[in-house]
Structure 1
């Protein structure tokens, strides 16, 4: 027991070639040593446990090696390498900035830099967790880092690059370490298990690698823990039992229950998971990851994104073939929404159970979308003909009068076909243009209604009920007073019906009687013009009937003088206020404000 060394220390890489998952950095450093193009300061940054300090030590040892190998690796046999390995090198110094972060510590280091190396070519300083240095310590270190002696090399390591001063960053050669891939980590654990005589299976090692989240040191710590727990048998079951990880089997069983719409089984599986002490949030997050992996497994091109062992990958492929992408995407959306609402819910278990129940009915919902509503048969002879746009025909002296514009319609009118009715059958009756088909008219058998189709039908009926413009032959002459009387009477009717906007438009300005029975209506902005266009038919129907003149037409008149135009939009209101008080514009520019 006294001789036991944890795997993270025992199998710590001693050469560049043994560093796991950082080939882009080790190759660069070896080429720099080979070409004698070493920088005066290096900065190694990245997450914990990925080899920053290890690479710093390997670089320091390799630079001062007296018998460098042809592959730019340290020999490990010279006096410099042995003294470094024994921890008594006079040319390589390590400083922990977390506990030595004051100005005095840095000044002491600067005094040491002035002394040339006693052995070796370079004097190398490794400063770990350099972001922990204080502001004053960084400033004291800045000058030495900018112009160090030719024999001094600084290697800085940090997990939080954003906390380092830009002036320090600009004087360093920066290397960003990656998170170690699951496959690389599992392979390294397998090699250590072979050396230690530990039996294992690949599924268990992959679970350890996934749990480590890219940090090899964390993976080695968990590996030692499981070796002790399982008596040197690293199996899948031992790993999930020791690390308290939800078994893949739960998610595969639950997915089968969702596909079969077996909600009782789904709820029982959830109860079993919660009974083992797992949190509902952890479960729903893992379920979302499971659906994501199933989507990845459906396509051979994306299969490489699945970080699992071969056996688990095969199970994913088999289950993914039974599921449609629509079902997986819907389930993934439900699980994501449940995860978002979980923390704020007072009944968190109910949130998860509701999500599972929704997932169990996804197949039925997709079937609803695929089926169409069975509409009652509509004989072509009784089909409503498309309403043609009505253009008034004037047979009197007002032939130069422009046609009355009709409101635009978005409905595409089908072509009118010639339907011939046999003589033995009574002619089909044309339905009333005001007949409204209700929801009850849609006869449903065993088919499921298509909601979009029903909505389209309702919209078509609504469009067919739009008011039509009244036309006739009467052309009685009326006076401006008679026009004003009927105009205000119609406006009062609008006010009683709570149509305030149109009432304001009709009463804000006096209507102008123009030639050819045209009535000019003053509009102050595009909103009022659109309102007049949509309400034009109702106004004309009322005036034409009361004044007994079917040649009456409304013409919008834009306000000619911009100075009298009231500000309507937010931009116009701001310009009006800024014209009265120029300091308002200065305030807006100073605080970079916008208009809403």
Structure 2
């Protein structure tokens, strides 16, 4: 190393277009413009920090004025033909007036007088306006070069008078190549993994990479090792991240807590660790696809390690982990106890159920659904009769019984005769009291609909809700197969009913259930449910007064009142206007919490109860 210290960012500043890294689209355009003598009078170089905007301006000024390479780039400002101005500290109108006076003076030697304005977006609006006329019609010897990191802050009137070039971030591999060459020139020993750590830490800025390289040399000397570099830059190494993923793989919470404690004692920032873990999970996700491995910015040895570790996790698991980490980064900013929140986040990853375990759960639920064909729904609250199990029924059907002579039918299994006898009893009961039987069937249908509505409103996980509905559909299909020959209840056509001359409250209440049944299929199910909950208070003066239990129901019924009125006309023979109001809620009608409703559904639905008991399902809310 040289005895006279000079920062690497200054020592290795490019002096030619070929030395500028990763900005070929700009340098090639400018070189062609110089060859064809088509130089513009004003350029705008835009891009993030440390990518070579000011350096490109100096190289352009050096090239068009044929300045000797022995003159350092920082010394160009001392020549009479190149003027550099920092707009961050010279942003007033007077500074622009001074610049305009300098433009009039021709170059002392050379062909052009170049004005380089750095951080031009810092100029005030008045200063920009003072520069407009000079910028639009400068002398033939004047060339303006503006550099900025925030082009959106520059006035459109300025942007329309310049040629704009957008500089891009420098890739990790290009920074690594540049650092490797500088390390050879400086006789510095450094491994590939350390070069990648510096390049990724620089975030696309070569100037930042050279500054980090200087810092590493000051800490480690001529030999830079990976562990010392991580300590010097306070960067979370890939070894620590792989170690944590081992804890996640083995569900080892104790080792995970120990690792967290070690990280915090060594002074690592929590947010920095989460950022590193996010990139680590992203690389593992990409490593599942070998053809996309070029997207992972790491050494070849680390890429192979990513491939090996990626096989321990599915892509679904990695996506869920990324979601947990991204949420934690937001929550940590406002957390009163960041360490506790940090530990909880990492423990979530460790205890998270894997996709393979969820597949086993789905297989178990699928088996449960297949067996649900033999399931007998529990009786209503008013009934105390215990339903026999499917196994008991099968045993009873298979047991030999004493045959009895039957002169009207062919020989049929005893179990079928028993079912037929039960159906006959039900038919006899319907014939004895048809109104009671019809009312019972309606109440049963309404309870089933309300149970489905509970499943919809509870907000339970989609997995449980979907499987429950499928199981219930399977049970209903089985019942329909068993009762396929049963007679459907006779319903009269509303047109055949005798309509009184004066529509009374009693008549509307009498036909109300049939009216509600007629809404099915013609109106949305949600509207039908709200109509079922509405109460008929009275009929007066051509209006039917309905009472709802909430504002939402009132608004919905008001919007659909016209269609509902014409539907009711089929039963009343005349149109009754709907007068809808919201009734006062009793204390007992106070809505239950989500968890209370979930507990209630468990009591009603044995399939959900079995899921909770067998598989340990929980409500995520």
Same fold (TM over 0.5): yes
Alpha-carbon distance change, 2 to 97 in structure 1, aligned in 2, over 3 angstroms: farther
What does residue 64 of structure 2 align with?
63
Name the TM-score, length of structure 1 as normaliser: 0.69
Alpha-carbon distance change, 301 to 476 in structure 1, aligned in 2, over 3 angstroms: closer
Residues in 1 aligned to 2:11 and 2:509: alpha-carbon distance in whole angstroms: 98
Tell me if structure 1 keeps the 8 A contact 2:46–2:166: yes
1:10 has 2:30 as partner: no
Name the TM-score, length of structure 2 as normaliser: 0.67
- 3-state SS of 2:43 partner: strand
- Structure 1 segment 81-92 matched on structure 2, within 5 A: 88-92=78-82
1:20 has 2:21 as partner: yes
Tell me if structure 2 keeps the 8 A contact 1:491–1:506: no
When you count helix as a share of all residues, which structure comes out higher?
2
Moved more, 21-30 or 297-306: 297-306
- 3-state SS of 2:415 partner: coil
Q: CA deviation at 1:92?
A: 1.5
What does residue 354 of structure 1 align with?
344
What does residue 215 of structure 2 align with?
225
What does residue 542 of structure 2 align with?
509
Q: CA deviation at 1:90?
A: 1.8
Residues in 2 aligned to 1:473 and 1:108: alpha-carbon distance in whole angstroms: 96
Tell me if structure 1 keeps the 8 A contact 2:499–2:573: no
Alpha-carbon distance change, 567 to 490 in structure 1, aligned in 2, over 3 angstroms: closer
Residues in 2 aligned to 1:30 and 1:120: alpha-carbon distance in whole angstroms: 18
- 3-state SS of 2:536 partner: helix
What does residue 491 of structure 2 align with?
471
- Residue-by-residue CA offset, 1:162-198 (whole Å, 9 max, x unaligned): 2222111111111111111111111101100000000
- Structure 1 segment 350-499 matched on structure 2, within 5 A: 350-359=340-349, 360-363=351-354, 364-365=357-358, 367-375=360-368, 423-427=412-416, 429=419, 452-458=466-472, 471=491, 479-481=500-502, 484-487=505-508
1:268 has 2:266 as partner: no
Residues in 1 aligned to 2:211 and 2:368: alpha-carbon distance in whole angstroms: 67
Residues in 2 aligned to 1:201 and 1:304: alpha-carbon distance in whole angstroms: 20
What does residue 177 of structure 1 align with?
167
What does residue 199 of structure 1 align with?
189
Alpha-carbon distance change, 247 to 102 in structure 1, aligned in 2, over 3 angstroms: same
Alpha-carbon distance change, 150 to 567 in structure 1, aligned in 2, over 3 angstroms: farther
Structure 2 unaligned spans of 5+ = 378-409, 427-440, 453-462, 481-487, 517-529, 545-555, 582-621
- 3-state SS of 1:503 partner: strand
Q: CA deviation at 1:500?
A: 7.3
What does residue 76 of structure 1 align with?
69
1:240 has 2:230 as partner: yes
Residues in 2 aligned to 1:331 and 1:379: alpha-carbon distance in whole angstroms: 35
Residues in 1 aligned to 2:228 and 2:200: alpha-carbon distance in whole angstroms: 15
What does residue 275 of structure 2 align with?
285
Tell me if structure 2 keeps the 8 A contact 1:529–1:556: no
Residues in 2 aligned to 1:422 and 1:343: alpha-carbon distance in whole angstroms: 79
Tell me if structure 1 keeps the 8 A contact 2:503–2:539: no
- Structure 1 segment 551-566 matched on structure 2, within 5 A: 553=571, 557=575
What does residue 436 of structure 2 align with?
none
Q: Decide which of 301, 312, 316 is 1:326's aligned counterpart.
A: 316
What does residue 132 of structure 2 align with?
142
Residues in 1 aligned to 2:373 and 2:364: alpha-carbon distance in whole angstroms: 24
1:109 has 2:99 as partner: yes
Q: CA deviation at 1:84?
A: 8.6
Moved more, 225-234 or 361-370: 361-370
CA RMSD of aligned residues (A): 4.2
Q: CA deviation at 1:356?
A: 2.9
Alpha-carbon distance change, 294 to 504 in structure 1, aligned in 2, over 3 angstroms: farther
Residues in 2 aligned to 1:338 and 1:4: alpha-carbon distance in whole angstroms: 44
Residues in 1 aligned to 2:148 and 2:500: alpha-carbon distance in whole angstroms: 91
Residues in 2 aligned to 1:457 and 1:341: alpha-carbon distance in whole angstroms: 39
Alpha-carbon distance change, 59 to 506 in structure 1, aligned in 2, over 3 angstroms: farther
1:337 has 2:327 as partner: yes
Alpha-carbon distance change, 282 to 509 in structure 1, aligned in 2, over 3 angstroms: farther
Residues in 1 aligned to 2:94 and 2:376: alpha-carbon distance in whole angstroms: 95
Q: CA deviation at 1:36?
A: 0.9
